[in-house]
Amino acid sequence: MASTVARPSWAPGTAVPGIRARAVAALSRRWMARVAADPAALRATLGAYRDGEDNGEAAVFEQVGAHLPARYVRMCARHAADEARHAALFAAAVDALGGAAPTPARLDPLARLDAAAGGLLATAGDSREALGRVFLLLMAFERRLAERLPLIADGFAAARPELSALFRTVARDEARHIRYCTAVSQALIPDPDRWATLRDEAVAVEARAFAPYLFDFLNHILDIGLRQMPWWERLGFRLMARLGRALGRPLPVGGAP
């Protein structure tokens, strides 16, 4: 099924070239190495992924059958099954470390994104285009995950290879989910110019929403863990996150979903 869906030219994989790519990778590895060595920070990070995978997307997927043929319904069913499997895998990883408290509601990434989009998820049943716009927002969300998860996997590779493998598995699925969301949204919004305009809007909304979200997530992790991190390094991460929020360009670390 997935092989029939073209990989979009703006999909993750080439967005951070050259020197910046190396700097992003180095910062991410440093942060995740610190997290891997700190039980409280590690449990909270994995707990955020556990909770983030159970985010209500299934209710959106269930509406596709009213508008599109069965092959799109099957894409959504596989997407939903993947998310349920991811939640179970992250829950098992958290439980193996002693468990984690529920992630604060203010750190629900999809809820934050939906709020930035003006409550778009609630409009999914209004029309074909409304549902298509929701899938474009989900595409932007999945795109961010597919870009970040391999960096997190790299950061875990030395100290937590089992978690590195988990994040790589999820990253591969998220890349496929981008193709699903692209195919479904294009079927719901068949005019290519209209689709491209709405796609760009969704990507822009996600970019605006992510920097303040990542700032809050990074500070949450620093507040509950990483006590052994040197004070100057803690301060440096906080300042970089604050700068990213101010500029609307997120710091490429933090392990946030």
Residues making up the chain, counted from first to last: 257
Q: Is 195's pLDDT higher than 90?
A: yes
Residue 118 located in a structural domain: yes
Q: What CATH code is carried by the domain that includes residue 81?
A: 1.20.1260
**Pick from 91, 112, 101: which is nearest to 216 by CA?**
112
**Pick from 198, 70, 207, 52: which is nearest to 134 by CA?**
198
Residue 110 located in a structural domain: yes
Distance between CA atoms of 230 and 233, rounded to whole angstroms?
A: 5
pLDDT on residue 234: 85
pLDDT single digits (tens) 17-76: 566 667 767 777 888 889 999 999 999 999 999 998 876 788 899 999 999 999 999 999
For residue 250, what is the enclosing H or E element? none
Residue 185 located in a structural domain: yes
Residue 56 located in a structural domain: yes
Residue 55 located in a structural domain: yes
pTM to 2 decimals? 0.86
Residue 119 located in a structural domain: yes
CA dist list (Å): 176 to 4, 214, 241, 257: 12, 24, 29, 17
Q: What phi, psi does 70 have (nearest 5°)?
A: -65, -30
Confidence of residue 251 (pLDDT cuts 50, 70, 90): low
Residue 115 located in a structural domain: yes
Using only C-alpha atoms, what is the Rg of the chain?
18
Which segments of 117-191 does DSSP mark as H helices, in order? 128-156, 161-188
> Range of 202's domain?
25-206
Q: Is 229's pLDDT higher than 60?
A: yes
What single-letter amino acid sits at 183? A
pLDDT on residue 56: 72
* Greater pLDDT, 236 or 189: 189
**Pick from 136, 47, 135: which is nearest to 90 by CA?**
47
The total number of structural domains that make up the chain:
1
What does the longest C-alpha to C-alpha distance in the chain come to?
56
pLDDT on residue 12: 43
Q: Which residues contact 156 (CB under 8 A, 6 or more apart)?
A: 32, 36, 163, 164, 167
pLDDT single digits (tens) 102-160: 899 999 988 898 999 999 888 888 899 999 999 999 999 999 889 889 989 988 999 99
Distance between CA atoms of 88 and 51, rounded to whole angstroms?
A: 10
Q: Is 96's pLDDT higher than 70?
A: yes
Residue 233 located in a structural domain: no
Q: Is 184's pLDDT higher than 50?
A: yes
